[in-house]
Amino acid sequence: MTALTHLSLVEAARMVRDGEVSSRELTEACIRRTERLGARLNCYISFDPEGALAQADAADRRRAAGETLGPLHGVPLAHKDMYYREGVVTTCGSRIRRDFRPDRTATVLTRLEAAGALNLGGLNMSEFAFGPTGHNHHFGPARNPWNTAHVTGGSSSGSGSAVAGRLVFGALGSDTGGSIRLPAAMCGLAGIKPTQTRVSRYGVMGLSYSLDTVGPLTRTVRDCARITEVIAGHDPLDPTSSRRPVAGYEAAATDPDIRGTRIGVPANYYYDGVHPEIRSALQASLDVYRSLGAEVVEVTLPDAEATSVIGGALSGTEAIALHRAWLRDRPDDYGPQVRARLEMTLAYPAGDYLAALQVRPRVIRRFVEAVFSRCDVLHCPILGFPVPTIAETDVADSPEMRKMITDMTRCSRPINYLALPGLSVPAGFSSSGLPLSFQLVGRPFDEASLFRFGAAYEAAAGWVEQHPGEDDTGG
Amino acid sequence: MSRPDPAGLADLVASTLGRRPSAESAERMAAAVEGVGEALAALAAESLFDTEPQNLETVLAELAPPAEGSR
């Protein structure tokens, strides 16, 4: 029998709804596992078992009373520690906000709770969501459950670690340059960066207004679709959120018929310098897609190199606008790498920043018309090399720092500037046992296609059945 | 695009933060600024004068598939 903690989110929710397990039992299982493995993985900043059990008991009472139950009823989640809840400390992974108590609650948290989800606490993250490895100068690095010597990826490091470690059934991350897709890829999870404006950012710590997106990390594509469907849609409290209707994401994930479709493979940029092991895994995944009836076509991507550079400059410039006063008055309260990266962005000319914003719609149009006139989804690497160790990437503010960050975000960052949806999909394991993944990219607001193609591969490949051993997690 | 003078960038940072970055940091800043200039040139962002302003959300909606479907 599958341990409760190893169920998918969808199956756990079904069992609670059908009375096969109580929300309390599910929550206690997560708590026990967290007590056993949480310190080793260093994935929580704040852990609230009592609060979660109280929510679980309330969920069980509502079910007993015959109330209508939401799609996440009674299922424990936890989130990157940057989603505000009124009156509850939200650190943003920082010393500066160590005691910060927000005066509002994030709309995404409100929506998850309305759908019945529980909250076990705040998860570790890169300081102010500004770092792709998962290192954190103040709280220490979250650790990869597949091998705790390795990074989780960041900035949603604790989200990747906790979900892959089977401590919780799903978690929100945020993605400005790859911060959902990278930890999902490195921890063997599904993780989506939705289309820009698809999900409300009200009550969410800002890093870059133009690029910040909110999305989940989960163990299956269908789990990812379910959470995304709950949190997506217009929010009157976030005027930048889209009014476009939300498509049937979970329905797409349960309809994995991709016969007669076309999958695009980049002819340029994305495979430059990619490690042979990754190249081989991605080729194998394309063979799976061919076997499912899709045609694989080569596509030339316009502006690929430039969008990566501009995406980085845009996020950095907008970050410095938020951090300038603290950077001037409290520099020693930042970790060395975050401080160095923020200071570096002060040099970007205002004219360059405004040009990057002004040209963006034209660049998006050029990319979408060139790529999606040839294919339904784009299939490409998300990380070009095997998951590195924590020690290898502990570069702080050294001269190697810029290259390491550029290399790590090379495949993820262009998609943020292009505002497109991107989904990380697990694609097996390296020779050293660490997860391998690919990225699916779609047209604006076509998350449904990503879930359909992701679920089709997941079902055919079977990687989803594998999970980290207790020895890997040190438990 | 020529690389900006690192010392000038260091002055700029010092005037904002009240402390001067190291020479090595200033060199990295100069390289980063140069890279952004080259990337903008590649995107033809230097010739925006005759282009009409565009709204991101409108463009995304125009490029999206029909709202009800994903194919």
Tens of pLDDT, residue by residue, chain A (475 residues): 679 999 999 999 999 999 999 999 999 999 999 999 999 999 999 999 999 999 999 999 999 999 999 999 999 999 999 999 999 999 999 999 999 999 999 999 999 999 999 999 999 999 999 999 999 999 999 999 999 999 999 999 999 999 999 999 999 999 999 999 999 999 999 999 999 999 999 999 999 999 999 999 999 999 999 999 999 999 999 999 999 999 899 999 999 899 999 999 999 999 999 999 999 999 999 999 999 999 999 999 999 999 999 999 999 999 999 999 999 999 999 999 999 999 999 999 999 999 999 999 999 999 999 999 999 999 999 999 999 999 999 888 887 888 889 999 999 999 999 999 999 999 999 999 999 999 999 999 999 999 999 999 999 999 988 999 865 554 3
**For chain B, percent of residues with pLDDT exceeding 90:** 61
Which of A343, A360, A399 faces B21 most closely, judged by CB atoms?
Answer: A343
Residues whose CB falls within 8 Å of the CB of residue A138, separated by 6 or more in sequence, listed in order: A93, A94, A95, A98, A127, A335
Check pLDDT > 70 for residue B71: no
Q: Are strands A190-193 and A295-299 parallel, antiparallel or unpaired?
A: unpaired
Residues of A in contact with B28 (CB under 8 A): 344, 399, 402
**Are the beta carbons of A365 and B51 separated by less than 8 Å?**
no
Instruction: Give how far A72 is from chain B: nearest CA, Å.
Output: 24
Residue of A343, A357, A453 to mutate, testing the B interface (most B Cβ within 10 Å of its Cβ): A343
Is A161 within 8 Å of A187 (Cβ atoms)?
yes
Annotated catalytic residue A373: no
Question: Rounded CA gap, A412 and A176, in Å?
Answer: 9
Cβ atoms within 10 Å, residue B5? 11
Q: Across chain B, which distance is largest between two alpha carbons, in Å?
A: 56
Residue of A80, A210, A424, A449 marked active site: A80
Question: Rounded CA gap, A330 and B32, in Å?
Answer: 25
Interface predicted TM-score of the whole assembly (ipTM), two decimals: 0.92
pTM given for the model: 0.96
Q: Residue A190 burial by CB count (10 A; 0-12/13-18/19+): exposed, middle or buried?
A: buried
Residues whose CB falls within 8 Å of the CB of residue A263, separated by 6 or more in sequence, listed in order: A286, A289, A294, A295, A296, A297, A375, A376, A377, A378, A379, A453
Give pLDDT, residue B70.
Answer: 41
A46 to A78, A85, A116: CA distances (angstroms): 10, 13, 21
Under 8 Å CB pairs connecting chains A and B tally to: 143
Residue of A179, A200, A412, A424 marked active site: A179
Q: Are strands A190-193 and A213-218 parallel, antiparallel or unpaired?
A: antiparallel
Residues of A in contact with B39 (CB under 8 A): 305-307, 309-310, 313
Residues of A in contact with B22 (CB under 8 A): none
| Segments of A241-384 assigned E as strands | 262-266, 295-299, 377-381
Question: Rounded CA gap, A69 and A13, in Å?
Answer: 10
Check pLDDT > 50 for residue B50: yes
Q: How confident is the model at residue B1 (pLDDT cuts 50, 70, 90)?
A: low
